[in-house]
Amino acid sequence: MGWRCRPDYLVGMPNQPDVLEKLVSLCKRRGFIFQSSEIYGGTGSVWDYGPLGVELKKNLKDRWWHAMVRARDDIEGLDAAILMHPRVWEASGHVATFTDPLVDCKNCKKRFRGDDPKIKGTPGTPDAQCPACGMKGTLSEPRLFNLMFKTFMGPVEDSASVVYLRPETAQGIYVNFLNVQQSTRQKVPFGIAQIGKAFRNEITPGNFIFRTREFEQMEMQFFVEPGTEVEWFDYWKQERLKWHQSLGLDEKRLQWHQHTKEELAHYASAAFDITFDFGGTLGFQEIEGVHNRGDYDLRRHQEYSGKKLEYFDQPNNKRFVPFVVETSVGADRTTLAVLVNAYREEAVEGEDEGRTVLALHPSLAPVKAGVFPLVKKDGMPEFANTLATELRQHFPVFYDESGAIGRRYRRQDEVGTPFCITVDGDTMQDGTVTIRDRDTLQQERVAAERVGPYIRERIAV
Ligand code: GAP
């Protein structure tokens, strides 16, 4: 079972409120995330990102790409194909071992992971009780179920044309290790990073976008000289934790989880998860894994492809197969962590109605500014519209002239817009506008031409 033997729901204890149900509803209502194929009743654990969700996830991926690729000279980017040669997955060990134990109930036909803590007794024995229908003795013995999706390449659907949808992006990096190293003339230690879709036929998907069957990973494989991997492993653990903190994730909600021997994947000699407290019964769960993969993957690809995957260290005139330190983070799972972390309901001083606010880091917020004329007359809509059009050349802006100004503020709070700009009577006299800060609710008067630089400065952090 190797890497799959610890169900995520067993990690950590909950100590934060459960906001998931409220978030699912907000995400649909405001256009962040919709259930896939909803008009047909939905597809199991697959989700579509709406206009605001796509911006939020893109901002998150951009931050990762910037930190891992653009801001460094020792990591190169890659975008490898999803469909790969089937032998890749034999070499990687996924065909043989990427499995979960599956248990069926003969009575209600429901399926469970064999290690589901809700199962009482040992599956396959008369005393085992189905957690869904409550019948005893109806659960099958666990059988191993491979999580890779299979499809066929070309028009003939036979065993010779089977290909898999990749269950991790990492293998596209390993098979391109020499292509990238030689074309860029990088020297070990160096890394290759990529963002892309991965697919797993999970037995128990759920908790919104936490565990889905189609998801995006942001992975980086760092190739090092054997003997230096422990020091690089420590380095990358610290770097990756800092990155999650830089998103504004509450430090109290972030924790390390070290894999025990039983939990380690077949390729890993050491692994630490960065876990986030999602609140409620979900509690602390993995959002990123940092793995010491040794030379497992490159050696296996050498063996299965018959091609050498060695690095030539010219100054020391020696050849070696590098060791790999991997950082692997889910884009969707981290998007969920960011949303959970940001969600709050709070009272507003001097107002009867409270507000729901997404206190998103300004760089992640899908809309950076709302622009409103105070009233729909005296040239205010024209002024506000011109300002919104100008600002839109630099970042996403929402123009709104409908309803009471308080309600317009609330609508932007709920989607995490960090700044609201109001054009009022004074604007028409002196060319200044108010900028309201989403978090402090403070309003500042700023010259209209200063609004762009003011906001750009704050979203760049
Ligand atoms: N290449 C190593 C690897 O794939 P993993 O721990 O299986 O490691 C890495 O996955 C990250 O991918 C996880 O920390 C999680 O954020 C994300 N992930 C894995 N399975 C997922 C799923 N079914 N749905 C959403 N995200 C998932």
What radius of gyration, in Å, describes the C-alpha atoms of the chain? 26
Is the pLDDT assigned to residue 3 strictly greater than 70? no
Q: Which amino acid is at 435?
A: I
Sign of the alpha-carbon dihedral angle for 128, 133, 138, 144: negative
Exposure of 254 in the CB half-sphere (CA atoms within 13 A): 22
Residue to substitute in 36, 113, 212, 217 for testing ligand 1 pocket (most ligand atoms within 8 angstroms of CB): 217
In angstroms, rounded to a whole number, what is the distance separating the alpha carbons of residues 448 and 426?
11
pTM: 0.94
pLDDT at 352: 81
Centre of ligand 1 from the C-alpha of residue 217, in Å: 7
Is the pLDDT assigned to residue 9 strictly greater than 50? no
Q: Which residues contact 344 (CB under 8 A, 6 or more apart)?
A: 356, 357, 359
Helix, coil or strand: residue 440? coil
Ligand 1 closest atom vs CA 288: 14
Centre of ligand 1 from the C-alpha of residue 228, in Å: 26
Strands 369-373 and 419-423: parallel
Question: Using CB atoms within 10 A of its CB, is residue 261 exposed (0-12), middle (13-18) or buried (19+)?
Answer: exposed
pLDDT at 359: 98
214 lines ligand 1 (CB under 6 A): no
Strands in 150-251 per DSSP E: 150-152, 162-164, 190-199, 214-224
Least confident of 4-8, 158-162, 252-256: 4-8
> 19 pLDDT band (50/70/90 cuts)?
very high
In angstroms, rounded to a whole number, what is the distance separating the alpha carbons of residues 446 and 427?
10
328 lines ligand 1 (CB under 6 A): yes
Is the pLDDT assigned to residue 8 strictly greater than 60? no
8 Å CB contact between 116 and 7: yes
Centre of ligand 1 from the C-alpha of residue 286, in Å: 8
Ligand 1 closest atom vs CA 200: 23
pLDDT tens-digit series, residues 162-209 = 999 999 999 999 999 999 999 999 999 999 999 999 999 999 899 999
DSSP string, 408-420: HHHHHHHHT--EE
Ligand 1 closest atom vs CA 219: 1
219 lines ligand 1 (CB under 6 A): yes
pLDDT tens-digit series, residues 50-76 = 999 999 999 999 999 999 999 999 999
Q: Which residues contact 192 (CB under 8 A, 6 or more apart)?
A: 75, 76, 77, 78, 173, 176, 177, 180, 220, 221, 223
* Span 316-343, average pLDDT: 98
How far is CA 80 from its chain centroid? 19
Average pLDDT of the chain, as a whole number: 94
294 lines ligand 1 (CB under 6 A): no
* Closest listed residue to residue 149, CA positions, set 109, 188, 97, 202: 202
In angstroms, rounded to a whole number, what is the distance separating the alpha carbons of residues 371 and 393?
14
Strands in 126-253 per DSSP E: 143-146, 150-152, 162-164, 190-199, 214-224
8 Å CB contact between 233 and 327: no
Q: Which residues contact 328 (CB under 8 A, 6 or more apart)?
A: 168, 170, 217, 218, 219, 220, 288, 289, 290, 291
Read off the DSSP letter of residue 346.
E
